A = this chain, B = another copy of it.
Amino acid sequence: MSITPAVKTILEKYESDNPGVKAKLAQMLMHGRLGGTGKLVILPVDQGFEHGPARSFAINPPAYDPHYHYQLAIDAGLNAYAAPLGMIEAGADTFAGQIPTILKLNSSNSWATTKDQALTGSVEDALRLGCAAIGFTIYPGSDHFFELVEEIKELRAEAESVGIATVIWSYPRGGELTKEGELALDVGAYAAHMAALIGAHIIKVKLPTDHIEQKEARKAYEGADWSKQSDRVAHVVKCCFDGRRIVIFSGGAAKGEDQVFQDARDIRDGGGFGSIIGRNTFQRPRDEALAMLDKIIAIYKGEA
């Protein structure tokens, strides 16, 4: 497999990473129907942990089976599949070599009494399960943010040393942030920047609104028009070392198809690197999900 120029350009920006990590980034960037384009679509399935199994899968019962998600990601031609330990283990042998996997190393749940997460897997697990990357959530703003940062600092270093890439989910919450503020443009851009600063190879954030949360940041944003989502995407990408890091966006709760497609177009037009899309796929019947992913891929290819 020879690397395309688009992918090569991206990899060259990871100038301090070792060939092992770059090979894993290349593995994801060159896989699936978007392989070689420099764009990614990833299927994440950690909803069972976060919201419970019935809330996640009762609407589409075949999704109770971990194999369902592996197969969905493979059949849709996605770049990678991300899930917690148990979900990955339950199919890692059956689907070995068929799709790059991201082992999500920490998780929260609906009953958590703090804005924190529990470690549920390790870099050793990622190695023995053949994963391309580890995934880790940080909560900028939370009382536990410093601890989360110190955990991922250790895990990222360990992963790097064995040639595994690091994906950081950067979700502002807790502390003095308002609910509206969690999705604010300045907050999301800051959260993405911190993920870059602590060494994320791939940064996952939510699509931001045009709200500006921090009083001290208003001056930096005033005078520009932030009403277009693609401009907001472009700003977040700029805040990740001026585009030197891969930034992908999630769309949040299940919503209408049209909005999902519009999000993908805005990410593409703003220079984002792709989508990570879970509930909007596995909570739909498989045929509908495949059709939706087909169109999203077409959008990223500039064909829709």
Contacts and interface: CB of A to CB of B under 8 A. Distances in A.
A299 interface: no
Nearest to A63: B242
Given A157-B125, A198-B120, A244 B186 contact: no
A304 interface: no
Interface stretch (A26-34, A82-90, A257-265, A289-297): A82-90
B221 A140 contact: no
Contact of A64 (B17, B190, B242): B242
B53 A189 contact: yes
A54 B239 contact: yes
B85 A244 contact: no
A190 B92 contact: no
| Copies of this subunit | 5
A197 interface: yes
Interface of A: 13, 15-17, 48-49, 51-55, 58-59, 61, 64-66, 84-94, 107, 109-114, 116-122, 124-125, 128-129, 140-141, 143, 145-147, 149-150, 153, 157, 172, 175-177, 186, 189-190, 193-194, 196-200, 214, 216-217, 219-221, 235, 238-239, 241-242, 244
Given A52-B217, A58-B221, 10 more contacts: A52-B190, A52-B214, A53-B189, A54-B186, A55-B217, A55-B220, A64-B238, A64-B241, A109-B140, A122-B157
13 contacts: A16-B89, A49-B197, A52-B214, A53-B238, A54-B235, A58-B220, A64-B238, A84-B198, A107-B197, A118-B153, A120-B153, A122-B157, A124-B157
